[in-house]
Structure 1
Amino acid sequence: MPAIRNIALSAARMRSGLVAVGVLVTAAIITLCLRRYGLSTLAVEHEAIRGWLAGDGLYAYRSPENEAGAAQPPALTLLLTPLTLLPLVAAGWLLALAGLAALLLVTLIMAGPVARRHGRRRGPFVLAAAALALLAEPVRAAVGLGRPELLIFALLAADLVGLRRAARVRHRSLAALLRSRRSPRGRAPIAVRLTRAFRRADYIGDLSQSSKRSEVDQTGGGTLRRIWAGGSWAGIGTGLATAFSATALLFVVYLLVTRQRRAALTAVATATMVTLGVLVVAPAETFAWYGTTMWELARPAPVSDLDNQSLAGVMARLYGFPAPPVLVWFSFGILLVAVGLIRARSAHTEGDEVAAFTLVGLTIAVAGPVTTAAESLWLLPAVLILADAGLRRRLSSRLPRATRRAGTAYLTMAAAGYLILITTPVWSLRWNLPALTLILLVNTLPWRQGSPALPTIRPAPHRPAAIPLPRGGTVRGS
């Protein structure tokens, strides 16, 4: 017994030491990020908010150094207004800690199932993945510049939990309905009709709701527990993200394309309520934002700036103009949006909602007007998906050799992509390598087999005759 206690105490001390080392390393990385980037974006927003509180317009402020102005929606500005009561460094640290918590949440949502699938402990795997993500340039830029992209990223990822729970409830409801309704002659027509109805509707009416209530009520949960377990809150995170960033509206379009109408309506209602609330508090700033400021693409920086790795920035630099040709950019942008939504819908059909959300995020990054390093956070789950898909193909001995070779290619792409995210050399920006990577991932990102297929009932082995016989009749000569 004393030996066992000593082993347990040494293990606990080792864990405590690792946690302490991790905290110190994380604090050092945040400090280096704040010093390198200087909280330049947060400094502009701070001065603009202080001028607004003093009686000036929110979007009238311009930085004396680079003429940059505030470029955040009024809803996000009101959320960050309490930070102006603190010094810039303290506000940057507080926003960095909030972003770190958001990064842990996103990693838990996206990397947790990967750890369970490969038989690993979820806690150490998630912490390791979060540490690797913290070293990437998108996270470093978001923390060092004082940008809230990590918080918006977490809001969008949180809806994945709700969509998973809602899909699980629908799957159980459909399975119970198929078991309860069995045709005596042939089971195939009922299965086909129910499968089509399931794919057309976002949820299966009163039967789904009643079964969901019965399942949750048996566990002793109340109303809040029933809502959480049923996933009916899915869409709130997307709605908040849409109110905080206009580009997140494409996620609402994705929910409509994949016929997740309940989540889409929840997102639209949430974004509308937040916008109306901000309109009541700050009407002049709201009209100014949606009327003119949102359309000033060069407000934070020129579109042709080297840091802008979107399709618009690449075209502006290729043509040598401050902004890209509108018709050319619009045509290629619409094509990329169509490809991204089609592939995201296919990933959703296969049950990989993480890959679907990642494809939508990559599509926003490549088709949007301005995409800096801090706005390329969806490259991180793309690397995770490539690594997971590669390991799945390489470790499976039942797959053909060509599929395992594709797994090696995915692993190579994941390693190369992560190295680019860590180093971000200047020559890669000059050669538009991040933009080309975004376009390549939108067209080639794989998805994994997720939840099981919809339950169907096999048809009867004996099919009815093409020409029915009279009732009670027999065939002569048989």
Structure 2
Amino acid sequence: MRFALVAVGVLVTAAIITHSLQRYGLSTLAVEREAIRGWLAGDGLYAYRSPMNEAGAALPPAPALLVAPLTLLPLPVAGWLLALTGLAALALSALVIAGPVARRHGRRRGPFVLAAVTLALLAEPVRAAIGLGRPELMIFALLAADLLGLRRAARLRDRSLAALLRARRSPRVALATRRSPADRPRAARIVHAFRNTLPSRYSGDLSESSKRSRREVDTSGGGTLRRIWANGSWAGAGTGLAVTFSATALLFVVYLLITRQRRAALTALATAAVVTLGMLVVAPDETLTWYGTTMWELARPAPVSDLDNQSLAGMMARLYGFPAPPVLVWFAFGILLVAVGLIRARSAHTEGDEVAAFTLVGLTAAVAGPVTTAAESLWMLPAVLVLADAGLRRRLSVRLPRSTRRTGTVYLTAAAVGYLILIATPAWSLRWNVPALALILLVNVLPWRQGAPTLPTARPAPHRRAAIPLPRGR
């Protein structure tokens, strides 16, 4: 039975990939392939224009260097290789994003992740990314890898905090915790209090336990690499690589900074700087041309007012009847959407739902960016998952009031409608800007889940009955 299910899954996946390649014809990859061939022949990377629609390559130098070996292969073979790479990236992303949902609902992670990958393959963003030969699935996987790293780093911090809580014995700890400033985060207050007030004997015990845990990690195989993988100190490298692939990924760096995840933000900036400097050494002319002029040519692949552009800029350009939107009006509404998205993402991070936080940042980047095609709206898929999970939590909980359970029904209905929009995107929905309106709505109403347990206090205050139970003075 398992062999039959695997065989059916492989056949269905191959059929979906074949249909996507035939429907979209690898048009984007074909343009980029000819541009890279001209670059290798001595012409500029951005000098090529397609004779059919005058479209030019809009690929940064770093991914262009990665795609360069595919120019030696026929276009269908190169398309299949990119499709398989994108499928592996999609599976990695589903494992990171959908795996904890399965574990939380008591389901096996493997079948749940495979079902999520299958449902994602049927969606228009994944089919467009595969059929056009675009790198959006790889960018999505890089950001999901950083999400995994941040999750591991947070887990390590929770364990360290639990060790500090178990080790305290002095009443000064509780006193320092109660006198901490109220505006500091709770976990940071407790850690700061314990670090400053623990007696020396407990600090020694903690240092010995940390050394022992490090020795256990080192002797279990892998050494330094295993320790780096376990503690998530590499978080931010994926975002840095994503920045060199797409400039809209810079919004994730801003999110890391405003949520005080400074180590990941600095790692991302350092990675992006190292890759950019490396490309300056390898291809200086193309790198300067990209960051100087080509990146700002918004209508290079297609006009901003094209129906496929479902960003705020494309919607406003079509509403005004211009080739491009009014700049001041677009900036005003775009900055407002960015502020709302980042504020809500920070709130989701505070509540412990990093998946919802990353999803809100991705949706904000998609709607506020100048050009957002179907392949660039991949963050609607985890948004549908977050809606479904939040709806199930509220619907299945017997301790919540009836109004909250009705809200769960609304979330489940919104998840079903959103997935139907992703599966079938008819032409009338593009004319009526349905995907763009859905992106704007999700940025404003996407819920987040209570992901982090409440941190224990240093010493719970004893419950005392009031001497006078009634309010005094009245």
TM-score by length of structure 2 reads 0.91
Q: 1:45 to 1:176 in 2, by over 3 A?
A: same
Cα distance in 1, alignment partners of residues 190 and 246 from structure 2: 29
Secondary structure of the equivalent of 1:448?
A: coil
Contact 1:174 1:455 in 2 (8 A): no
Paired with 1:272 and 1:161, the residues of 2 have a C-alpha distance of: 22
Q: Equivalent residue for 1:235?
A: 236
Which residues in structure 2 correspond to 1:288-327 (within 5 Å)?
288-327=289-328
2: distance between equivalents of 1:135 and 1:102? 16
What secondary structure does 1:187 align onto?
helix
Change (3 A) 1:459 1:25: closer
Question: Could you report, residue by residue, the CA deviation over 1:343-387 in whole angstroms, capped at 9, with x for unpaired residues?
Answer: 000000111100000000000000000000000000000000000
Sort the Cα spacing of 1:439 and 1:394 in 2 relative to 1 into closer, same or farther, 3 A: same
User: 2:40 aligned with 1:42, yes or no?
Assistant: no
Q: How far apart are the structure 2 equivalents of 1:202 and 1:95? A: 46
Cα drift, residue 18 of structure 1: 1.0
For 1:201 and 1:44, the matched residues in 2 are separated by 56
Are the counterparts in 1 of residues 190 and 458 from structure 2 also a CA contact under 8 Å?
no
Between the aligned partners of 2:435 and 2:235, the Cα distance in structure 1 is 31
Matched residue, 1:130: 117
Q: Secondary structure at the match of 2:44?
A: coil
> Structure 1's 453 and 65: CA in aligned 2 closer, same or farther, altered over 3 A?
same
Residues 7-26 of structure 1: pairs in structure 2 closer than 5 A: 14-26=1-13
Aligned to 2:405: 404
Q: Which stretches of structure 1, 4 residues or longer, exceed 4 Å deviation after superposition?
A: 194-198, 200-213
What is the aligned partner in structure 2 of residue 467 from structure 1?
A: none
CA contact (8 A) 2:243 2:249 kept: yes
Give the one of 147, 152, 156 matched to 1:169: 156
Of 124, 131, 144, the residue aligned with 1:157 is 144
Q: Given residue 362 of structure 2, which amino acid in structure 1 is its aligned partner? A: G
| Cα distance in structure 2, aligned partners of 1:147 and 1:322 | 24
Alpha-carbon offset, residue 161 of structure 1: 1.0
| Residues 214, 267 of structure 1: alpha-carbon distance in 2 compared, 3 angstrom cutoff | farther
Partner of residue 451, structure 1: 452
1:330 aligns with 2:331: yes
2:80 & 2:378 partners in 1: Cα distance? 20
Which letter maps to 2:215? D
- TM-aligned CA distance change 1:29 to 1:196, over 3 Å: closer
Identify the range of structure 1 (360-369 vs 164-173) with the bigger mean alpha-carbon deviation: 164-173
Distance 1:186 1:272, change over 3 A: closer
Correspondence for 2:131 among 141, 144, 153: 144
RMSD: 2.2
Q: CA distance change for structure 1 residues 365 and 379 in 2, over 3 Å: closer, same or farther?
A: same
After TM superposition, the structure 1 = structure 2 runs for residues 171-210 of structure 1, keeping only pairs within 5 Å, are: 171-184=158-171, 187-190=174-177, 193=180, 196=185, 198-199=187-188
Partner of 1:280: 281
- Does the residue aligned with 2:287 lie in a helix, a strand or coil? helix
Match of 2:74 among 87, 97, 115: 87
**2:57 is the alignment partner of 1:56:** no
Moved more, 180-189 or 431-440: 180-189
- 1:339 and 1:200 map into 2 onto residues whose CA distance is 27
Q: Which residue of 2 aligns with 1:5?
A: none
Cα gap change, 1:356 to 1:36, in 2 (>3 Å):
same
Structure 2 partner of 1:217? 215
Instruction: Report the counterpart of residue 374 of structure 1 in structure 2.
Output: 375
Q: Following TM superposition, by how much is the alpha carbon of 1:456 offset from its aligned partner in structure 2, in angstroms?
A: 2.0
Q: In the TM superposition, what is the alpha-carbon distance from 1:462 to its structure 2 partner?
A: 8.7
* Contact 2:177-2:190 at 8 Å conserved across structures: no
Mapped to 1, the partners of 2:135 and 2:191 lie a distance apart of 32
Mapped to 1, the partners of 2:127 and 2:309 lie a distance apart of 16
Structure 1 residue runs of 5 or longer lacking an equivalent are 1-13, 464-478
- Kept in 2, the 8 Å contact 1:309–1:366? The answer is yes
Change (3 A) 1:81 1:200: farther
CA contact (8 A) 1:186 1:460 kept: no
Determine the structure 2 residue equivalent to 1:473. Answer: none
Alpha-carbon distance in structure 2 between the residues aligned to 1:449 and 1:176: 23
Q: Note the C-alpha offset of 1:210.
A: 8.1
Distance (Å, rounded) in 2 between the aligned partners of 1:279 and 1:202: 43
Query: Match of 2:447, SS?
Result: coil
Post-superposition offset of 1:225: 1.2
Farther-moved stretch of structure 1 (201-210 vs 315-324): 201-210
Counterpart selection for 1:70 from 54, 57, 63:
57
Quick check: 2:146–2:235 contact (8 Å CA) kept in 1?
Answer: yes
Partner of 2:256: 255
Distance 1:288 1:301 in 2: 19
**CA–CA separation in structure 1 for the residues paired with 2:236 and 2:159:** 21
Match of 2:431 in 1: 430
**1:22 aligns to what SS in structure 2?**
helix
- 1:389 and 1:407 in contact (8 A); partners too: yes
Counterpart residue type for residue 26 of structure 2? L
CA-CA distance at 1:449 after TM superposition: 1.0
Supply the AA of the counterpart residue of 2:213.
E
TM-score for both structures, normalised by structure 1: 0.90
CA distance in 1, matches of 2:264, 2:207: 15
- Output the CA distance in 2 between the equivalents of 1:116 and 1:69: 45
Amino acid in the other structure paired with 1:446: P
Write the distance in 1 (CA, Å) between the matches of 2:374 and 2:185.
43
Whether the 8 Å CA contact 1:76–1:244 is kept in 2: the answer is yes
Q: Secondary structure at the match of 1:414?
A: helix
Q: 1:113 to 1:241 in 2, by over 3 A?
A: same
Summarize the Cα distance change of 1:254–1:186 in structure 2 as closer, same or farther, 3 Å threshold.
closer
